[in-house]
A and B are shown apart, each in its own frame.
Chain A
């Protein structure tokens, strides 16, 4: 069964600090890996999407890495802001269903405090 596991479950950091969120997956055959940000009461919004051949991708202060050999990904947030407080969800797509079959992690709940 395809699975996506994220750690930590929750994290509290001070504004301005950096943090790294982890994602391990056992999805096969792999198509791509996405990181989404979900604000409370809102739908998930895409941050990055990486295919098998991509090791890193940035979107502003967000940088995602992918190691397809070890089936691990990380999301690094630089110089955190209060608005970064949200749930960050790792999502892996497999090649069945035209690459649109998604397996979701349970998310890391990040809180940024003053």
Chain B
């Protein structure tokens, strides 16, 4: 059982380049999330999805786009990378309350993608 898998694990981009971060989960979770983690700050939500074909903005969505074409995959795109997007990115997934009740809305995280924009 792989859980939540993120690719790539590391990436260096030049300012203005684009890239896509991939997240895959094999737990049949409805909800998927993208967070960024910066020093001295808690994880901040970029975008999330409550089901296949749906996405929504989180706390810090600017400069990012997402897509959820398949239930198991959630893609995070950077169209024109900026140094301010240097961060560690985490994908997570969870059941909705309807799937497992409030107790089972526990989020499972991937191992992170360390992105540096120079």
Contacts and interface: CB of A to CB of B under 8 A. Distances in A.
Name which of B42, B98, B103, B112 has the most chain A CB atoms within 10 A of its CB.
Answer: B42
A14 to B, nearest CB: 27
A45 interface: yes
A44 B43 CA distance: 10
Contacts, number: 65
B40 A42 contact: no
A63 interface: no
B34 interface: no
**DSSP class of B's interface residues: helix, strand, loop or mixed?**
mixed
Given A43-B110, A99-B97, A100-B96, A106 B102 contact: no
A88 interface: no
Contact of B102 (A43, A46, A99): A99
Interface of B: 4, 31, 40-45, 48, 50, 90, 92, 94, 96-98, 102-103, 105-112
22 contacts: A4-B42, A32-B102, A32-B105, A41-B111, A43-B110, A44-B43, A46-B107, A46-B108, A49-B103, A49-B106, A93-B105, A97-B48, A100-B31, A100-B48, A100-B94, A100-B105, A100-B107, A102-B45, A104-B43, A104-B44, A105-B42, A106-B40
